[in-house]
Every structure is written in structure tokens, then in C-alpha cells.
Amino acid sequence: MITKTLSPHSTRRLEANPGIVATGLLRMTGERISYGRWLLLGLPFALLSSFLSCWVITRLFLSRSERRMPIL
């Protein structure tokens, strides 16, 4: 996160999407990447991070008996 001061009494946060940053880096190197290739590169990370996030959240906020209950 980058904070940019607009005036002495206010600040505005500038945040960059990782996809935008990666696209900019690829453009700087001159390499081109298709949507399908981008999906294949990002999908494993997205699945793993989603699984790990759910696992951590359920361990922090649910008891063992609640975790064993059926979802539906």
C-alpha cells in the first residue's frame, strides 16, 4: 500500500492489483501472455490460498463439533 499526501490534513491510499503489476512487468520485458496461460499460472495459487484461508478461518471461529456438522 502506498499512501500519497494530498494536503497536510488528508491522505489517499493508492493500492495496486497484483494482476496489474504483473501485466506491467510483462510489458516491460516485452513478453506476451494469453488469458488461458494466465489462468493456468494463477489457478493453482488461487485454489491453494482459498483452501488455506477456509481452513484457518474454520479453525479460528468454529468449535470441533461445529466443524463436523454437515454443510447443508
Instruction: Render pLDDT for 1-60 as a digit per residue (tens, 0 to 9).
Output: 555 555 555 555 566 677 778 778 888 888 888 889 888 988 999 999 999 999 999 999
Residues making up the chain, counted from first to last? 72
In the block, cell 493456468 appears at 40
**pLDDT value of position 48:** 95
**pLDDT value of position 47:** 94
Maximum pairwise Cα distance, the chain? 54
State whether residue 63 is helix, strand or coil: coil
Separation of alpha carbons 59 and 66, rounded Å = 10
pTM: 0.55
State whether residue 64 is helix, strand or coil: helix
Counted domains in the chain? 1
Domain that holds residue 19: 2-68
Strand (E) or helix (H) holding 7: strand 2-7
